[in-house]
Amino acid sequence: MIYTPSLLAVSVFAIFVAITLALSFYFAARTRSAQSYFAAGGNIPWFVNGVAFAGDYLSAASFLGICGMIASYGYDGFLYSIGYLAGWIVALLVIAEPLKRLGKYTFADALDSRFQSRAIKLSAGVSTLAVSLFYLIPQMVGAGALVKPLLGFPHWVGVSMVGAVVMLIVVTAGMVSTTYVQFLKGSLLVVFSALLTLMILQRGLTTKPDNPGFHPPRVTVEVDESSLGSITAADLGLEGTEILPPEGAWKDRPYLRTCDGATGLVSVWRQTPTTEGRVVFYETQTLTKTKDGRELVNGLPHGLGPGETDFYPVGNINRLPGSETETGPLGPIEFFSTLEESELMLWSKDPKVVATDDETTTIFYPQLTAGSDVLLPGKSPTFQGIRGDRLASKLNFISLMLALFGGTASLPHILIRYYTVKDQAAARKSTVVGIATIGFFYLLTLFMGLGAMTSGVIDVTSANNNMAAPLLAKSMGELLFAMISAIAFTTVLGTVSGLIVAASGAVVHDLLTSVLRLRLTDHEKVRAGKWTAVVVGFMAIGLGIVFEQMNVSFLVGWAFSVAASANLPSLVMLLFWKGTTKQGITAGILVGMFSSLAWILLSGDTYKDVYGWPAESALVPFSQPGIVTIPLGFLALVVVSLLTRSKAPAVVS
């Protein structure tokens, strides 16, 4: 779909960026020491830190990716919400307080508190960099997805803009400004998501969404499947058109093409079974690319000018319980129970294009889907295996849920937030505030996603539907769209800033001063941190451009897998097993990190989406590494610790 930039949205967006930058410059004056730059001097109030946790954590993946996935496939996106929130229980109950007690700047400090080992600092520093970069990719992809409809810029411009603004934030004031940006963004995100949810419930469900441009697809009259060989346009109720013979690439495909007698336009209809032996045809939307480089949408040139056309937004309820046309305001439980009894019109893309000598046609077609089906796990390509019998698919699902559970407490940019408060009690209380804020937001994702799914706002051409939530807001009003988009953009700024601070802390504190043993003054440490932030910022921009086509939730799943495999074993074993040695910790981190990265690079999803190779030829049986590589990290740590432990009893802090 072609998006036209709105002046209001651009203005709100500019105001948000200006406030963010003003905060940074204000706090820049207070940031003088390394402690202040990397850990905000340990002076952040616990409540602010708690909401900043939410600002840090509720990234583009949470807001755009989860809502997009729910809007596309229903409950499956909510599985991410459940897993992400569950991870906070590990962070609060197992990791938070010991980490605060043992460390100062980075989580490598905590790991190294007993051993003073350069190998631990090196491996933990490298793992922090790897996880931060992996996590940066979806944030930058999300930024590009947002800026495209908001400002009308191409993806790479959006990614570059975020990179530039974030570098400015981080270079000016480090962790203090990053914290307040995250506090601001976390608060706004939750408040406006709640507002959007209230509006969804107030509007209720309807079979005729009034979103501009939306209309239900045209449908023929029902006919006998056995009569299809000799059927005429009049039999289908399509008077004034002529059925084109299914020749060449159109042969043996479930489509029927008609040519309008007045306009000469060709429409493509998809055969859809109804009851036993009966079928109807739904009109599809098509994107045709000709050999001479033209793009046709539904037979007309793609554009918004005269004689041109664009895809129309889709997604609606086909039938409500009792054949009503609208429900009126609904309570939260009624919202789900009504959806359970409804029938939805969802759209899919035919993975097989129709290719002739002169052109290729991609077809987007509507499908009637039971509401009860989208409220269950297993509808998306990512999780559909759990409805089948294949063990590898079930293990893939369990593996992802395990990575989400263990990954939160292993994310370096979350862990460093424990060093911005004064003591363990503050660390604990800020985590509780974080859980309350984040949990509340995740409850809202299901309403927002399902609201988008049924409001006639879905862009059929978007592979990942990352824009579902902002487009839903747009259907409620331009101002809400402007606010939600600007908040989502600030969301990206907040999370990316936190990741870059984490990465630069790892480079300066772990790698330069601890591993290379450079003697840096406080001032030099801050300067080195700022240079690192610039370098990491440019790397993030490059990666954000390369990975444009991937769903951000999916990418975050991988970041969690690497984090959980590399960092969780060493964190947990250091805290709970006296036999842990420095060699064991180093081995656990390296084995977890490299095995999870290798698994991802050899997986079917990477083959398909990154290399463009067939997924079946992948070397590992399923895509999510956690179920194998997290235990592998633990195993490596234990075995190496047993092999290297000295006869003297270990000193336990």
378 is an interface residue for another protein by CB under 8 A: yes
C-alpha 510/C-alpha 37 separation (Å) is 15
Q: Which is nearer to another protein, 132 or 393 (CB)?
A: 393
Q: Which of 143, 433, 469, 508 binds another protein (CB under 8 A)?
A: 433
Name the residue type at position 3.
Y
Q: Which stretch binds another protein (CB under 8 A): 233-241, 259-267, 375-383, 590-598?
A: 375-383
Binding mask 400-429 for another protein (x = CB under 8 A): -xx--x----------------xxxx--xx
Instruction: Record the tokens describing residue 509, joined without a space.
Output: 């504190």
Residue 107 in the binding site for another protein (CB under 8 A): no
Least distance between another protein and beta carbon 338 (Å): 8
- Nearest to another protein of 5, 439 (CB atom): 439
Distance CA 395, CA 55 (A): 32
Fill in the amino acid letter for 49. N
User: Quick one: 30 or 387, whose CB is closer to another protein?
Assistant: 387
Closest to another protein by CB, 87 vs 529, is 87
Contacting range for another protein; rule: CB under 8 A; set: 115-123, 161-169, 176-184, 369-377? 369-377
CB of 605 to another protein, least distance (A): 18
Among 269, 312, 442, 554, binds another protein (CB under 8 A): 442
For residue 510, give the nearest of 120, 174, 33 by alpha carbon: 120
| Location of structure tokens 């990397």 | 38
Nearest approach, Cβ of 34 to another protein (angstroms)?
Answer: 20
Nearer of residues 95 and 533 to another protein, judged by Cβ: 95
Stretch that binds another protein, among 16-24, 334-342, 480-488, 560-568 (CB under 8 A): 334-342
Nearer to another protein by Cβ, of 81 and 179: the residue is 81
Q: Is 340 in the site for another protein (CB under 8 A)?
A: yes
Q: Is there binding between residue 104 and another protein (CB under 8 A)?
A: no
In the DSSP assignment, the letter for residue 363 is E
Q: Which of 41, 98, 313, 584 binds another protein (CB under 8 A)?
A: 98
For residue 426, the minimal CB distance to another protein (Å) is: 9
Distance CA 130, CA 503 (A): 9
Q: How far is the CB of 634 from another protein (least distance, A)?
A: 15
Give 264's contacts (C-beta < 8 A, 6+ positions apart). Answer: none
100 touches another protein by CB under 8 A: yes
Return the closest-CA partner of residue 483 out of 194, 204, 205: 194
377 binds another protein per the rule CB under 8 A: yes
120: its two tokens = 């631990």
Buried b (16+ CB within 10 A) or exposed e, 284-320: bbbbbbeeeeeebbbbeebeeeeeebbbbbbbbbbbb
Computed from CA positions of residues 122, 127, 132, 134, in that sequence, does the dihedral angle turn out positive or negative? positive
Query: In whole angstroms, how close is the CB of 383 to another protein at the nearest point?
Result: 8
Nearer to another protein, 92 or 458 (CB): 92
The tokens of 614 are what? Answer: 């067939």
Listed in sequence order, the residues at least 6 apart from 124 whose beta carbon sits closer than 8 Å to its beta carbon are 106, 107, 108, 111, 112, 506, 510, 567, 570, 589
Residue nearer to another protein on the CB measure, 24 or 430: 430
Quote the least distance from Cβ 254 to another protein, whole Å. Answer: 28
Write out the binding residues for another protein, residues 382-401 only, by CB under 8 A: 386-387, 394, 397-398, 401
Decide: 249 and 238 in contact? Cβ < 8 Å: no
Minimum CB separation from another protein for residue 98, in Å?
7
| Cβ atoms 204, 210 nearer than 8 A | no
* DSSP codes joined into one string, 278-345: EEEEEE-EEEEEETTS-EEETTEEBSSSTT-B-PPPEEEEEE-GGG-SB--S--HHHHHHHHHT-EEE
Query: Length of the chain in residues, anyone?
Result: 653
The least CB distance from residue 65 to another protein, in Å, is 17
What is the SS3 assignment for 115? Answer: coil
Is residue 109 close enough to count as binding another protein by CB under 8 A? no
Q: Residue 316: which of 286, 282, 273 has the closest Cα?
A: 282
Which of 1, 244, 443, 650 is in the footprint of another protein by CB under 8 A? 443
The Cα 488–Cα 147 span in angstroms is 10
Site for another protein in 68-97 (CB under 8 A): 75, 78-79, 81-82, 85-86, 88-90, 92-94, 97
- Select 422 or 608, whichever has its Cβ closest to another protein: 422
Query: For another protein, what does the binding mask look like between residues 261 and 300, x meaning CB under 8 A?
Result: ----------------------------------------
Cβ neighbour number for residue 644 with a 10 Å cutoff? 13
Binding stretches for another protein (CB under 8 A): 75, 78-79, 81-82, 85-86, 88-90, 92-94, 97-98, 100-101, 333, 336-337, 340-341, 372, 375-378, 386-387, 394, 397-398, 401-402, 405, 422-425, 428-429, 431-433, 435-436, 439, 442-443, 446, 575
